[in-house]
Amino acid sequence: MPIKAKPYPFALPPTQPPALIVIDMQRDFVEPGGFGASLGNDVARLQACVPVIAKLIAVARRLGLPVIHTREAHRPDLSDCPSAKRLRGDCRLRIGDAGPMGRLLIDGEPGNAIVDELKPIPGEIEIAKPGKGAFYATPLQEILQQRDITHLLFTGVTTEVCVQTTMREANDRGYTCLLVADGTESYFPEFKHATLDMITAQGGIVGWVADSEAVIDGLEKAYG
C-alpha cells in the first residue's frame, strides 16, 4: 500500500521496511539556552514537531522499522569544527563556548543530548555528525548498506538545513526519500514551506512529502 504523498504516491518496499531518520532533535536546537537560541532564534517553533516524531517513533518501533537518530556534534577539542564554521556570524556564543546546558554543540555535553521525549532505546542507532548532512564523516552509508535499506523517512530539524542537506545527500546516493511534513520544523516558517516545495518540484526531484497521518496509515497497512 503506497503512502499518499506529493508529488504522487510513495511506494513502500515489500520486504525491507524503510528506516525512520530523526535529524538533530537535540536540546541544543530545541530548548532555550542552546546553540539555536544563541543565534537569536525562537526555539519554541521547533518544539511543535516533537509529539509528531514521538508518535512516528512509537509506530516504527512497534512495526520493526529501523530508527536512526542524529546529533550535530563536535569533539571537545574542536578538531572537527572548521574555523569557517565556528567563527561565522555575529552571535553571543559560538560552537564550543560554555552555555546554560554546557558547551554548545559538543559531543557529551548535556545540551547535545536528544530531548527526553525522543531518546533512543537500546538497539537504535545514534550518530554524531560534524556537518549539516548526516552522511558526511559518519558511518551512515555503511549502516544502511549493511541492512539493505533503500527507502528513508525523514523527520527532525531544521527543515532547510540539516534535514534537507541529508535528504539531498541520500538522493545522490540512490535512496528513495520521503520527508514527513509535520515531523519537521524550522525557525523560519517560510524556509520550511520553500523546502517542501523544492523537494517535490519537477516530479519529486529530491523526494516525496507527506503528513504523518498518511505515513502511519501506509506503514500500518504495509507492515502491520
What's the gap between Cα 173 and its chain centre? 17
DSSP string, 26-84: BHHHHSTTSHHHHTT--GGGGGGGHHHHHHHHHHHHHHT--EEEEEE-B-TT-TTS-HH
Helix (H) or strand (E) holding 154: strand 151-157
Active site residues: 24, 129, 162
The answer to whether the CB of 156 falls within 8 A of the CB of 179 is no
* Residue 141: C-alpha distances to residues 24, 131, 133, 149 (Å): 17, 15, 12, 10
CB-CB neighbours of 172 under 10 Å: 10
Instruction: State the cell numbers at 163.
Output: 534535514
Q: How many residues does the chain have?
A: 224
